[in-house]
Amino acid sequence: MFVLPCRYRAVRIAPQIPLEIMNPMTIQVRSPPGSSLPASGSSREDRVKAGQFRGHVSCFALILGFCLAQVSPAPGATEWNQWLGGPGRTLSAESRGTGDQPPTVSERWRRPLGSGFAGLSIWDTNAITAMTDGKQDHALLLNPETGEERWRVPLGRTKKRAEGTPPGPLSTPAIDAEAAYVQALDGRFLCLEIASGKLRWELDVKRALKAYEPGYGFASSPLLLGDLVVLVPAGSTKASVTALDRRTGEVRWQAALGTATEYSSATFAKLGEAPQIVAALGSKVVGLAALDGRVLWEVGDVTGGLWTPSILANGHVFLPLAQETQVRELAGRGSRLVWSSPVFEGVMGPVVEIQGLLVGHHQRRLTAVDAATGEQVWRLPNETDGQIVAYGRWLVFVNDRKGRIELLAVDRQGAKVLRSQAVIKPTRMETPLTVAGDIVFLRSPDELVALQLGQ
């Protein structure tokens, strides 16, 4: 019987503890079986049931009481609860897939799913995504163990697009223990109760934040951080980045930056001991204090790309801009350029960190650069398309041209396919993969598939 790794439960930090916030980059969410890592951080140690938390949480001080409520991830069960896995991730599962042989792949379940580009976000025994039935868009809550539908909530009439572009929602919902946070194409942002799908609160982004609807509809995915949900409203220069209270939907702060994005989403980073939000906008990249939205640093005279910035293992920020790629070190009250490269410029898919390399698609070929220097190390000769994620030492690649999942060994000499099997019909796959424990979820244009990785 398939059981998603849900033996862990979320740690709740009491609201009366005002000076602590979790650093998601320190959470060891994938420790090897049998390991036992001590808790670390402040003197207020998080309590967990029956010692089931295999990992450690490090908390750091934040000025003036930035309360953290119900955000402590439960390893395995909650490690992929929003766009690209959550704040600051590098799409890497370092403690998994450490064997000498690539993991085997077996199908757990598959189910039909209407068109759409939204990814799958998982918290404990619930998974949220969005799709269209051809007439209406819907938020869809599923059981990740079986794929069974639990509820669906209408998000508005399906938006027609240019010929050849599939319809359906673009933004990936976020989820926690009590609610799902969903951006509809028409600009409505909804907080839905997990138990029933009932609307808790709703924000009209166009009216409240002076945003405009992009040609393909609202696509930016929400970022959950502490008791905030952070939005990057399309076209809004007076609310370029906006933080809402997760419980009420009230605006906590807005950053008026004089520039805006249309499709990119924000991520999380750390500058010293201060958490910050990183966003690539139309003409600049900014780092904002999570507490109040103050600008900590910015890179001007650039064109922000369509892809989300990510955080490397050493804490540097990877910025996939429209004309180039930059890696920047956060230092003092600013940032320092470490390297820049034309590789991955304008990238439209994940770039993952694995074996000291950054690997992704550049000009439709899998390419690797040195994560420390930006120097191109190799580039595969054959054109490919698809989605990738790192699984320990292995690169998981869903090759959509072949309809196959491939396990690749990656090093500085290149990438070699060691395992390959058919999983979907050849098709264009636009949605990034989701990983929860040893399970990979992939979304094709018409179905959702759960695959078990194992030794």
Query: Mean pLDDT across the stretch 114-122?
Result: 95
Report CA dihedral (243, 277, 308, 116) to the nearest 10 degrees.
-20
The verdict on residue 215 lying in a domain is yes
Share above pLDDT 90 across residues of the chain, in percent, rounded to a whole number = 49
Query: Which of the four pLDDT bands, split at 50, 70 and 90, describes residue 304?
Result: low
- Give residue 282's pLDDT: 79
Residue 203 has pLDDT above 80, yes or no: yes
Query: Mean pLDDT across the stretch 377-382?
Result: 94
The verdict on residue 52 lying in a domain is no
Residue 421 has pLDDT above 50, yes or no: yes
Structure confidence by residue, pLDDT tens digits, 135-146: 999 999 999 999
Name the residue range of residue 121's domain.
83-454
Number of domains within the chain: 1
- Give residue 375's pLDDT: 97
Query: Mean pLDDT across the stretch 172-198?
Result: 96
Any idea which of 37-46, 99-108, 139-148, 271-280 has the lowest mean pLDDT? Answer: 37-46
- Give residue 12's pLDDT: 29
The verdict on residue 444 lying in a domain is yes
C-beta separation of 180 from 195 below 8 A: no
The verdict on residue 326 lying in a domain is yes
- Give residue 168's pLDDT: 93
Q: Which residue has the higher pLDDT, 322 or 378?
A: 378
- Give residue 23's pLDDT: 33
Compute the distance between CA of residue 59 and CA of residue 44 in angstroms, rounded to an integer.
Answer: 9
C-beta separation of 108 from 442 below 8 A: no
The verdict on residue 197 lying in a domain is yes
Residue 296 has pLDDT above 50, yes or no: yes
- The CATH number for 109's domain is 2.130.10.10
The verdict on residue 337 lying in a domain is yes
Query: Which of the four pLDDT bands, split at 50, 70 and 90, describes residue 212?
Result: confident
Query: Mean pLDDT across the stretch 262-269?
Result: 84
- Cα–Cα separations (whole angstroms), residue 228 to 45, 57, 67, 241, 247: 22, 19, 10, 12, 8
The verdict on residue 307 lying in a domain is yes
- Give residue 61's pLDDT: 33
The verdict on residue 43 lying in a domain is no
